[in-house]
Structure 1
C-alpha cells in the first residue's frame, strides 16, 4: 500500500506536468526568475491505493484574488473509483526577493483559457496550546525539492512520525490540512511539535519550527482512521 508521502509527490508531479503544458512549470518559471511555492493544502483520503494498482490523477486550476492559483486533484482507479481528493493553493514569487507576484502579470494566456472554477474551503489552523510530543529532524539533501527547499511531502511525513505509535501501527491519515508559511533548507533542523486535540478523536495538530530561530515554518492537522494497512 502506498504511504502518504508518495501520494503527495504524485499529486505534485501531476501539477508540474499540467503547468508545463501552459509553460508555467517550476523550471520554466525559474528561467524568468520566478517560481511556484505551495501555500495551503487539504487532502482527503477515501482509500489508499493497493500495491501495483493502476491509478489516474486529474487536476484543474482557477485563480483567486489575482494572487493565489488554486489547484484541485482527484485520484481514481482504472475503474473510476475515487481514492483521494485534494485542494491546494499556490503563489508565484520572485525567486531572489521571495516577494509574491500578481498572476495577471506572470501567467501565460493558456492558463486563463483553461480555468475551471471549483469550491474550496481551507480550515483554519490555530497555534498549539501545549506540546504533547516533540522531535527534531535535520534537513537532508534528499528532503529538498527543485527550489532547494524541503519538499512539502517531507513536512507531512515528519508530522506523522510524532503521532503515538499505537496510532501509526493501526491507522492511516484520512484528512490532512497544511499551511506553509516559510521554508527550510539544507543544513537546518526542524523542530516538530504535536498536540492531540481534546475535542476530536485521533486528530493531531502539528507545528514545525526552525530550530535556530524558532520561526514557525508550517502548521499541519492530521486526522487518522482505521483504514486497510
Structure 2
C-alpha cells in the first residue's frame, strides 16, 4: 500500500494566538488521515466494527521542525510502516509548499475486541500492514514510564466534548489538558519541539482526571494523567520545549 496524501489549508480554527497551527490541531489532522487511509486499506472503523473490533492509538512520537501558519497550504503524507505482531505502526510527514519538512511522527496502534478489550494479534496479517521504507522519518515511539507522583492533584471531570466515537476520552484531549496545565505565560514563551505519548488506560464518562507534571531537565517535562476513582495512570507523556521565535 502506497502513501495516503492530503492537501490541507491551515484555517483560523487550526491556529493559536500566534497564528500558528496548534500541535493539537495537527494531531487531529493526522488522526483523521490515519482513519481515512485505514478505510482505503479495508481496515477502517466500519470494517473493524463489523467484526466486533476497534482501533486504539497506543503510542505517539512527534518531532516538530516548524509550525505552519494561518493560510499556509501544507501536504500530509501517511503510510503503514509494518507490524511487530501486536502493534501496527504508521508514520507521517508534514511538508509546506517549499517541500520543507515541518513535522515527522510515528504512531503505534492496537486492535481490541469490543467486548472483552483483548488485543487482536496481527502476527498472521503482515501482508495487510506492509512496511513502506521512507527516508527521513523519526524513530518509532517507545515506552514512557510514569513518574512518581509529585503531590496533591486537582481532578476535573470528563466532559461530553471530551468523548470520541468509541465513547472514550479522546486521545488529543489528553495532550490538550497537559499543555493547558503549563499556563499561558509558559506557552507564550516556549513551543513544543518533541512529544512522546503512551496511552495506558481508557478514560470514560464519569471519570475525574488530574494532570501531574514534573521537570526532567531545563527544557523537558514528564506528565501523567491520573484517574481519581482508582488512582491509575491513563496516559504518560514526555514534552521537550524550545524558545518561541517572535
Pair in the same fold by TM > 0.5: yes
Larger mean Cα displacement after TM superposition, 163-172 or 71-80: 163-172
Gaps of 5+ in 1: none
Q: CA RMSD in A?
A: 2.1
Work out which of the residue numbers 147, 150, 153 in structure 1 matches 2:166: 147
Counterparts of 2:213 and 2:151 in 1: how far apart (Å)?
A: 6
Deviation, structure 1 residue 147: 1.1
Counterparts of 2:143 and 2:126 in 1: how far apart (Å)?
A: 31
Q: Is structure 2 residue 126 aligned with structure 1 residue 126?
A: no
Q: Is structure 2 residue 66 aligned with structure 1 residue 47?
A: yes
Q: Is structure 2 residue 5 aligned with structure 1 residue 5?
A: no
Provide the secondary structure at the position in 2 that maps to 1:158.
Answer: helix
> CA offsets per residue over residues 38-64 of structure 1, 9 Å max, x none?
111001111111001111111111333
Counterparts of 2:72 and 2:97 in 1: how far apart (Å)?
A: 8
Gaps of 5+ in 2: 1-19
Counterparts of 1:115 and 1:143 in 2: how far apart (Å)?
A: 33
Provide the secondary structure at the position in 2 that maps to 1:73.
Answer: strand
Work out which of the residue numbers 207, 218, 226 in structure 1 matches 2:224: 207
Compared with structure 1, are the counterparts of its residues 79 and 163 closer, same or farther at alpha carbon in structure 2 (3 Å cutoff)? same
Q: Is structure 2 residue 135 aligned with structure 1 residue 116?
A: no
- TM-score, normalised by the number of residues in structure 1: 0.89
Larger mean Cα displacement after TM superposition, 163-172 or 137-146: 163-172
Compared with structure 1, are the counterparts of its residues 37 and 152 closer, same or farther at alpha carbon in structure 2 (3 Å cutoff)? same
> CA offsets per residue over residues 30-85 of structure 1, 9 Å max, x none?
12100111111001111111001111111111333211101100011122111101
- The answer on whether the counterparts of 1:133 and 1:195 sit within 8 Å (CA) in structure 2 is no
What is the match of residue 78 of structure 2?
Answer: 59
